[in-house]
Structure 1
């Protein structure tokens, strides 16, 4: 038994977006800050990741599906959640309270469970211009979700990866985690 307190647990939710394969940058940054890290991918997000590399880096399997009844919980509860990259689809479903996959189920419950959540959207400017997206971001803010500063890229340009600041999720969460309970 270790005398060391358990490391805080960061759950990263990864969506289907072009930068998802770089999630290792966020995992590394979190581990350097002494976080234990797990990854949940949306069903479509799984295809955007190098699952073997992520699992080797975190020491945990990527979760993407609900566990069966009676099956033990595969991880302890998260101390914080980072949604990175967050897709247009996930942001809108989450704000609407749609819980049709594990990632959305976790996100829909987190604010009511007082788990701080930071979201780093990765959307193009056409998606960002949609009224539902702007309304969804506002609803998430009202729920206490911390929203990153990524500026949307041009549609069909495949760009913006060089401007996507993975570490911003940890910067957004830091004040919430250091506040007294």
Structure 2
């Protein structure tokens, strides 16, 4: 039986390299569908010079790349997810998600997922050390973890993404495999 994974990518540098995460998930047997935040979509279209990057992801996944809500009269074009991976998760998305905002398709999907305890949700952030000090981040992570999200920030509670100095991130070191390993672990909440 094929499992469907929604990869929700926010506007951070690893989003430009989401192909790495998609291929790694596919190698583990996941049918991957990609959903971008509006800002990540803008990066993909404007930085790539058109829709060529989106076309490549559509060809790789076999699904349209979504970034906006559909109209109520339109059919869903993606299969229902068995799990969700928010990667990269930004400070903006993390704090809005914890506060219950659903003003984008990406946020709508991940806020709804909190009410579906059978559906694993993993978040792998990409934030710098200055953002990691923002006073809204720690309570947001606590809220999400309390709701069952496995939020992979290296904050002394376990393995995860370690924030880097501003403007010194290394997208090649982004731990896609850690996130995928975590999806395969049994949930404790």
TM-score normalized with structure 1 length: 0.90
Structure 2: unaligned runs, 5 residues or longer? 45-52, 153-159
Structure 1: unaligned runs, 5 residues or longer? none
Instruction: Say if 2:184 is the partner of 1:143.
Output: no
Instruction: Say if 2:184 is the partner of 1:174.
Output: yes
Instruction: Say if 2:133 is the partner of 1:122.
Output: no
| Structure-to-structure mapping, 1:86-97, within 5 angstroms | 86-97=89-100
- The CA distance in 2 between the partners of 1:103 and 1:66, in whole Å, is 9
Instruction: Say if 2:13 is the partner of 1:18.
Output: yes
Deviation at 1:143, TM superposition (A): 0.6
| Length, aligned pairs only | 172
Root mean square deviation, CA, Å: 1.4
User: Structure 1 residues 127 and 48 mapped into 2: Cα distance closer, same or farther (>3 Å)?
Assistant: same
Q: 1:2-34 CA distances to partner (integer Å, 9 max, x unpaired)?
A: xxx3x1000000000012111111111111111
User: Could you list the runs of 4 or more consecutive aligned residues of structure 1 that deviate by over 2 angstroms after TM superposition?
Assistant: 47-50
| Structure-to-structure mapping, 1:60-99, within 5 angstroms | 60-99=63-102
- The CA distance in 2 between the partners of 1:132 and 1:55, in whole Å, is 35
Q: Is the 8 A contact 2:84 2:120 kept in 1?
A: yes
TM-score normalized with structure 2 length: 0.87
- The CA distance in 1 between the partners of 2:72 and 2:151, in whole Å, is 34
